[in-house]
A and B are shown apart, each in its own frame.
Chain A
Amino acid sequence: MRFALTEDQVAFRDAVRDLLAKECTPAVVRAASDAPAGKLDRGVWDSLREMGVLGLLVPEADGGLGLDETYLVPILEECGRAALPHPIVETAMVAARLLGADIGMVSTDLGGPNVPCATDADMLLLLRDDALIAVATSEVTLDPVATVDSARRAARVTAIPANPPPAPEPVPIELALDRGALGTAAMLVGLGQAMLDLTVGYVQERQQFGVPIGSFQAVKHHLADAALALEFARPAVWRAGWSVAHDQPTRARDVSMAKAMANDAAELVSRKALQCHGAIGYTVEADLHLFMKRAWALARSWGDTAHHTDRVASALDA
């Protein structure tokens, strides 16, 4: 029994954290909101590919790193912390094992009808008639969707080519859905951590009544509750990563628990963070909204809390 990351996993995660701190700043996230369709900047994406993150789950023989989800989960937490706009879960967690290491940018409608970064992606993995198909983005018709988090860059797929080829390797759709929910849960924990960190910093700077507002008990209790939710959601997500990596019989239950808890934690933290920021949080000038809006979207993609809780309930009734 060893419920902790290995030194290797910590080192890899920290390297990604450092990279994202430089290359995925809030300015980069804001730029992603403004870039025209199909023109998402790929600077940080290319850096992640060079580090091997995109093909992390792909066997070494096929050009990947041959690592498992217990490596990728903490890395996706970092991607959430940076509010990375690129479809990292869709590409690295869901598509890479199906399509190989050198697949470019992939998005999918498995997580919901509003496909993130749809026009930017090279390829789309689509669910049609209970089967997965992989099609080049240039071959489908996309209808952009204006979303609250404009860095989602979402679109709906309105038409696909006739007789599209199936995904190269048939894959249980359930597993692809579980991978997506797991990766999104990790992103949500990271988003929550970012919102908490931002707020802890802000309440120590912001003075009212002549003292930092972080010295007030009401503010402390909000943030203690936020820290509490994250403290207990994170192990659930790590455990789910382990269950997927080791194909445990409890995989579906563990993934759903992770997603439900990460949803709830990220939403709770977003409420607490906004309240403790006060009016500045209710603007697009402060960075908080970048993380908050992403959390709202992700908490309802790849299955919302009710969906995943019912899945846990079914597993417990088996």
Chain B
Amino acid sequence: MDLTWSSAEDAFRAEARAWLEANLAAWRAECGGEPASGDTREGFAQHLGWERRLFADQWAAVSWPAEHGGRGASLWEWLLFEEEYYRAACPPRVTQNGIFLLAPSIFEFGNPDQQAGILARMAGADDLWCQGWSEPNAGSDLASVTSKARRVDGGWVLDGQKTWTTRGAFCTHLFGLFRTDPDSARHKGLTYFLLPLDTPGVTVRGFGRLDGDEGFAEVFFDDAFLADDAIPGGVVLGEAEGGWAVAMATAGSERGLTLRSPGRFVATAERLVTLANELGDAVLRRRAATAWMHAEAYQQQTLATVTKLAWGAKPGAEASLAKLWWSELDIELHQVALDLLGADAEVDGPWSKAWQFSLSGPIYAGTNEIQRNIAAERVLGLPR
């Protein structure tokens, strides 16, 4: 056990902290005050300004190689960056579904032309990617997707519907699963596509999430012709009909570390403790301390996980335990905050907003019921 950071890591942290502080202030000034929610049309546009600042100084995707706009940071440095990011109260990343969900799969399965054509534009917020997995009748049961793609001369014809697509109404591109073998069932015969949302025959309709922001969209495909060269390096990621394996790699990142690092929860926990020390009685201060411990435990467990990854282990089914933990932790943190605010918890504000979002945690990225099945079967070895 060595729970200290090296001087190089300390220096990295200090550099990140200084940059974030200076640029956050500059961006907020540019927005003329409190920016709107990134899940509204106006706020999304403001947040792109922030994303472009990050990219200009190689902070948009710190762990990526420099050739794609990153700075080749280690997993440890990435954790430190995330800690500093949320400690400074930087805004939610409107590019996250590209950078944290799609990009790991592009690195693993993409051809060199796809990598060169997609990654830097994604990190620079030139192309804005959303996820097209869920369908009205395919949520937890992802393998039941029915949206189809038919091979034609020079491309594919897409039909079907995707939904609950985060920030779909504001994005330019979509990554999604389509059935390419019409006779196939379940996991077989699915292909992972990359496509521009301005493809003729594709219609996007935004709609309100729980908090009313237009953060969701449904995407309709009506005989949409997707040319093979609509994306540099091709519109299929990985092998045709091999989409399930690619999707599962993305799901692994979504569940685990890269989507929800401990930094954001630790930062929320610190704010909660401050609130509890201002407003709370002994009971509420105790509850805040419990929630703080749960955030801190996620941090410690992550350090143990990253130690294993740093030695070359692959992320495994334990990622399901992490997803269960952070999603329930997030609700706990906000629940205590609402109780501290009392009657004023109903007033629109950062806590009530984030409380509503926390409720989605046990649903997205694979519901917690699915995660408990995975943990029981693949971590504990119980029979399917």
Which range contains the number of A residues in contact with the other chain? 35 or more
The answer, yes or no, to whether A154 is at the interface (CB within 8 Å) is no
Given contacts A3-B3, A4-B1, A212-B383, contact A223 B376 (CB under 8 A): yes
B residues in contact with A2, CB < 8 Å: 1-2, 307
Of the candidates A203, A211, A217, A238, the one whose C-beta lies within 8 Å of that of B373 is A217
**Is the CB of A227 closer than 8 A to any CB of chain B?**
yes
Q: Would B372 and A235 count as touching, CB distance under 8 A?
A: no
Determine if A310 and B289 form an interchain contact, defined as CB atoms under 8 angstroms apart.
yes
Does residue B380 face the partner (Cβ distance < 8 Å to A)?
A: yes
Asked if B380 contacts A309 (CB within 8 A), the reply is no
Kindly state the separation between the CA atoms of A313 and B336 in the bound complex, as whole angstroms.
14
On whether the beta carbons of A316 and B304 are closer than 8 Å, the reply is no
Instruction: For A309, give its contact among B286, B296, B318, B373 (CB under 8 Å).
Output: B286
Whether A141 is near chain B, meaning CB under 8 Å from some CB there, is no
Interface residues of A, dominant DSSP = helix
Contact A316 B325 (CB under 8 A): no
Q: Is B297 in contact with A235, judged by CB distance below 8 angstroms?
A: yes
**A232:B377 contact, CB within 8 angstroms:** no
- Tell me the chain B residues, 153-187 only, with Cβ under 8 Å from chain A: none
Q: Which residues of A contact B372 (CB under 8 A)?
A: 220-221, 224-225
Closest Cβ neighbor of A236 among chain B residues = B297
Contact between B298 and A306, CB atoms less than 8 A apart: no
A201-229 interface (Cβ within 8 A of B): 203-204, 211-212, 214-215, 217, 219-221, 223-225, 227-228
Chain A residue nearest to B329 (CB atoms) is A232
Contact of A4 among B304, B325, B381 (CB under 8 A): B304
Across-interface contacts of B382 in A (CB, < 8 A)? 200, 203-204, 214-215, 219-220, 223
- B residues 326-384 near A (Cβ < 8 Å) are 369, 371-373, 375-377, 379-384
Cross-chain contact B293 with A220 (CB below 8 angstroms): no
In chain A, positions 167-189 with a C-beta closer than 8 Å to chain B are: none
Report A-chain residues with C-beta under 8 Å of the C-beta of B379. Answer: 224, 227
A7, CB-defined interface residue at 8 Å: no
Complex CA–CA separation, A73 to B49 (angstroms): 49
B294 touches A4 (CB 8 A): no
- Report B's interface with A, CB cutoff 8 A: 1-6, 9, 76, 273, 276-277, 282, 285-286, 288-290, 292-294, 296-298, 300-301, 303-304, 306-308, 318, 321, 324-325, 369, 371-373, 375-377, 379-384
Q: Which 7 A-B pairs have the closest CB atoms?
A: A220-B376, A313-B289, A235-B300, A224-B372, A3-B303, A224-B375, A214-B382
